[in-house]
Amino acid sequence: VTENRSDLEDLHLYATPREQRFRRFASLEFEGQLYMTPYDFIQAVTSDEPKRKQEFYNTKTARGNELNQILMETPPVWKGSSKLFRNLNERGVISYTEYLFLLCILTKPHAGFRIAFNMFDTDGNEMVDKKEFLVLQEIFRKKNEKREKRGDEEKRAMLRLQLYGYHTSTNSVLKTEGEDLVPRSYWDTLRRSTSQALFSDLAERADDISSSLSDTTLLVHFFGKKGKAELNFEDFYRFMDNLQTEVLEIEFLSYSNGMNTISEEDFAHILLRYTNVENTSSYLENMRGSIPEEKGITFEEFRSFFQFLNNLEDFTIAMQMYNFASRSIGQDEFKRAVYVATGVKLSPHLVNTVFKIFDVDRDDQLSYKEFIGIMKDRLNRGFR
């Protein structure tokens, strides 16, 4: 057992930061593959560490009949809500590639939901079936294998089994010497790869994957217990919007203590989490001195700010067009740029609070470059 534990701990050396986080929070194992429960996923995106110690050798091993019983309780997509993950709690399973997909959703603007749906809808019939969705597994697997650290092939094979549920050969997908591999986000990888799925071996591989992998909560939720249902855009949009809302509600409620608002200082704490800011105390101290009277941030204000963050790329372009890239900006200019670029209206109090957090020299101007850099970290929850 000691030797086994040592081997499994060593796998962390071969894992990327995202893989390490998944392995740390996943609490369920079935036939050698790791899974998160809905509770684990919520913990992974809202907490720094799991509330209980969860290494691979401490995970619960599920049997086939237990897994089937859990999936029987999964509601159909038309019964989804912004409490889906909280209601399922421990009664669900999420694979590693689905974890990556869900992370993509959390950082995308509503306008991107249609793009995401069209990427899956490879035959253009306005519906997504299970086979089309499973192409996701191959795209993310191939991307990860290009990033794999070279070394002990046996350890890498063990890691792939944990994350994908089957052994794979990397010969056809690993970068050859001299080939330039441009780092891309999972969203970029999905956008560039899915549209070509029908013209490659990916769609063919989806059949093999479907027959070899176990069903998951997402697959049952989207495509039914028999896997024959199809997903339309309205249901897909509602699922993505509900997930964003649910995670924001959880973060907000963790600070509100049952009240309708959170304090401006708590809002600052949430904004600065998962960023590279080392001395957060200076930002908090600056804000305390600038906002002597607490008014509080409502959930609607809180949600509107994160909707704006999901449109950060468009806002950045707008700011460059305003020619403010090399100098600071005022509150009115900031508020107008947000609305022009994203269609999101931020309340005057929310904008003032943001300025008081980031306006370190207290000149009522915002350092555009510093603000964008910090917010890109926060948007991607520490995984830029």
Question: What is the gyration radius of the CA atoms in the chain, in angstroms?
Answer: 22
pLDDT at residue 5, rounded to an integer = 46
Query: In the predicted model, what is the mean pLDDT of residues 54-77?
Result: 76
Residues in a beta bridge with 366? 329
- Residue 252 is predicted with a pLDDT of 95
pLDDT tier at 197, thresholds 50, 70, 90: very low
Q: Is 104 exposed, middle or buried (0-12, 13-18, 19+ CB in 10 A)?
A: buried
Distances (CA, A) of 330 to 95, 234, 335, 344, 362: 45, 39, 9, 18, 12
- The domain ranges of the chain are 2-233, 257-379
Interhelix angle 368-379/348-358, rounded to 10 degrees, is 100
The per-residue pLDDT for 99 is 93
pLDDT for res 4: 47
CA angle 49, 6, 24 (to 5 degrees): 20
Q: Among 34-38, 126-130, 178-182, 201-205, where is mean pLDDT lowest?
A: 178-182
Tokens of 253: 């409620």
* Other beta carbons within 10 Å of 219: 22
pLDDT exceeding 70 applies to what percent of the chain? 75
Answer with the residue of higher pLDDT: 66 or 367: 66
| Mean pLDDT across 270-278 | 78
Count H helices, E strands: the chain? 20, 7
Q: Are strands 261-262 and 127-128 parallel, antiparallel or unpaired?
A: unpaired
Return the higher-pLDDT residue of 237 and 119.
237
| 34 strand-pairing partners | 29
pLDDT 10s digits, 127-146: 999 988 888 777 777 766 66
Query: Can you tell me the distance from the alpha carbon of 359 to that of 361, in angstroms, rounded to the nearest whole number?
Result: 6
